[in-house]
């Protein structure tokens, strides 16, 4: 049986998935380009926010036709 994908990720997990530094993830959170939620003293990033962040980066880099 396959487990469902996580709903929330730690910043370190997002960094690994995106092949960027942990600090790049924290900068993206700080400048509000990557949504996060606070759970107690911890930060978590919703899976949908990671997908939206990637899409936003793709749109910013798209060459106009």
In this predicted structure, what is the pLDDT of residue 64? 72
The arithmetic mean of pLDDT across residues 20-46, rounded, is: 97
Judged against a pLDDT cut of 90, whether residue 48 lies above it is answered with yes
Cβ pair 38, 11 in contact under 8 A:
no
In this predicted structure, what is the pLDDT of residue 63? 73
Give DSSP secondary structure letters for 8-22.
Answer: EE-HHHHHHHHTS-H
Q: Is 38 exposed, middle or buried (0-12, 13-18, 19+ CB in 10 A)?
A: exposed
In this predicted structure, what is the pLDDT of residue 4? 61
pTM for the whole thing?
0.83
Give the pLDDT band (50/70/90) at residue 65: low
């Amino acid at each position: 049986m396959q487990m469902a994908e996580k709903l929330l990720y730690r910043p370190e997990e997002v960094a690994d998935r995106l092949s960027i530094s942990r600090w790049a993830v924290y900068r993206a959170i700080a400048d509000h380009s990557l949504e996060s939620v606070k759970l107690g003293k911890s930060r978590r990033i919703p899976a949908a926010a990671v997908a939206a962040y990637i899409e936003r980066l793709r749109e910013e880099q798209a060459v106009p036709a």
